[in-house]
Amino acid sequence: MAVEQRFEADTGVRPSSSRPPSADAVIEVRDLRMRYGSVDVLKGVDFAARRGEVLALLGPNGAGKTTTIEILEGFRMRSAGAVSVLGVDPAHGDERWRAGLGVVLQSWRDHGKWRVGELLDHFGRYYRPYSTGAVERPRDTAELMDVVGLAEHAGKRVQTLSGGQRRRLDVAIGIVGRPELLFLDEPTAGFDPEARRDFHDLVHRLSDLEDTTILLTTHDLDEAEKLADRILILAQGRIVADGSADQLARRVSRDTEVRWTRGGERFVHSAADGTGFVRELFAQYGDEIADLEVRRATLEDVYMAMVHRHETGAAGGEPGFGEENR
Ligand SMILES: Nc1ncnc2c1ncn2[C@@H]1O[C@H](COP(=O)(O)OP(=O)(O)OP(=O)(O)O)[C@@H](O)[C@H]1O
């Protein structure tokens, strides 16, 4: 039998994993529910974050990402469920608890007349009483402006900053108190590619060097893949996928998709062992093989499959990414 006919796609979509809470959990969310009027937006959200982890919360517009983050920040009262953030229920968090959090909201337009450096000094003063031997608070303003790329704008009024510069300032305000846990709601919206790369470096530095736990929302799947240790997909009021980008890709399809042409004809096959398949293919057809492409499921494939599956309620009937592309 020719090798080109031998391989079948694995089209199974496996359910999301639910992880047991760990001792060093910075965030623990169990059966979180939120109802606005008669609409259930969150219908039983479960997840946990360990110290130093970077989590990306993904989901379609209106899925409830901001609602979830605002509940964890203590800005919004939940309808039901158990939530613990830095060991405290956010509904009862005091000022000391709040000083351990950094928050970058989707957008705010305030303090327009303040100058960048003065504003950071001002916010920084709030954290001074919460400085400890281990964690010096606040960060030095000059260093902070340098880290977020605002040093040359220190004397500018906030209202004269560009959108991207303004967003850098939002991030600076979020980390001025050296938070243990940082919430970032669409942090790079409006960033140019260089600002985006600088921001990614900053996130890596915060998690690697300072052990900051970070929960961010984004619609940029490439960004989620670059930054997150774990990706959570929120759809239809629940976390429908939870794992590293690689784990999630394997959940949609364990196979590698291999495409090639031979004798002017185009072939596509999904192979459990992509490398072995390609080796056999060349052993059999050698120089006849052209236009070879080898591709695993991307985070976009995973996202589309998971969201589509839960929006249509088609559990178990979802095609793998290889099938969809044929
Ligand atoms: N204060 C509120 N009162 C009533 N409904 C609300 C309120 N806040 C949010 N909602 C609704 O709850 C749902 C979830 O909103 P939320 O902002 O949490 O979604 P999101 O996932 O952050 O969306 P996006 O990706 O567009 O930012 C939406 O349908 C929204 O209209």
- The mean per-residue pLDDT over the stretch 178-203 comes to 90
As a whole number of angstroms, the distance between CA 15 and CA 21 comes to 19
Which DSSP string corresponds to 53-68?
-EEEEE--TTSSHHHH
**DSSP symbols for 186-212:** STTTT--HHHHHHHHHHHHHHHHHH--
| Span 247-276, pLDDT tens digits | 888 877 778 889 999 999 999 998 888 899
Residue 207 confidence (pLDDT): 93
Residue 326 has a pLDDT of 31
- pLDDT at position 133 is 87
Whether residue 8 is predicted with pLDDT greater than 90 in this model: the reply is no
The CA distance from 239 to 42, in Å, is 9
Query: What would the mean pLDDT of 39-46 be, rounded to a whole number?
Result: 98
Task: Give me the long-range contacts of 268-277 (CB less than 8 A, separation at least 24).
Answer: 268/322, 268/325, 268/326, 269/4, 269/7, 269/9, 270/7, 270/8, 270/9, 270/10, 270/320, 270/322, 271/7, 272/7, 272/10, 277/3, 277/7
Quote the pLDDT of residue 315: 53
Residue with the bigger pLDDT between 105 and 144: it is 144
Q: For domain 25-246, give its CATH number from 3.30.70.20, 3.40.50.300, 3.20.20.370, 3.30.70.260.
A: 3.40.50.300
Element of type H or E holding 50 = strand 39-50
What is the C-alpha separation between 26 and 179, in angstroms, rounded? 12
The ligand 1 atom at the shortest distance from the C-alpha of residue 69 is 18
pLDDT of residue 107: 66
- How far apart are the CA of 159 and the centre of ligand 1, in A? 27
- Measured by CA distance, the residue closest to atom 4 of ligand 1 is 36
Strands of the sheet containing 256-262, edge to edge, are: 265-271, 256-262, 289-295
**Ligand 1 near 75 CB (within 6 A):** no
- Indicate the range of 24-33, 56-65, 106-115, 127-136 predicted with least confidence: 106-115
> H-helix or E-strand containing 267?
strand 265-271
CB distance 41 to ligand 1 below 6 Å: yes
- How many Cβ atoms are within 10 Å of 75's Cβ, its own excluded? 13
Q: Which atom of ligand 1 is nearest to the CA of 64?
A: 18
**pLDDT over 50 (residue 58):** yes
Q: What per-residue confidence (pLDDT) applies to 272? A: 86
Q: How is the chain split into domains, by residue range?
A: 25-246, 252-324
Q: Which atom in ligand 1 lies closest to the alpha carbon of residue 37? A: 4
Is the pLDDT confidence value at 3 over 70?
no
The answer to whether the CB of 36 is under 6 A from ligand 1 is yes
Q: Name the band, by pLDDT with cuts 50, 70 and 90, for residue 139.
A: very high
CA of 227 to the centre of ligand 1 (A): 24
Closest to 304 measured CA to CA, from 217, 241, 215, 229: 241
Per residue in 308-321, pLDDT tens? 888 877 654 433 44
Average per-residue pLDDT in the chain? 87
How close is the Cα of 135 to the center of ligand 1, in Å? Answer: 35
Number of CB atoms found within 10 A of residue 215's CB? 26
Nearest protein Cα to ligand 1, atom 28: 62
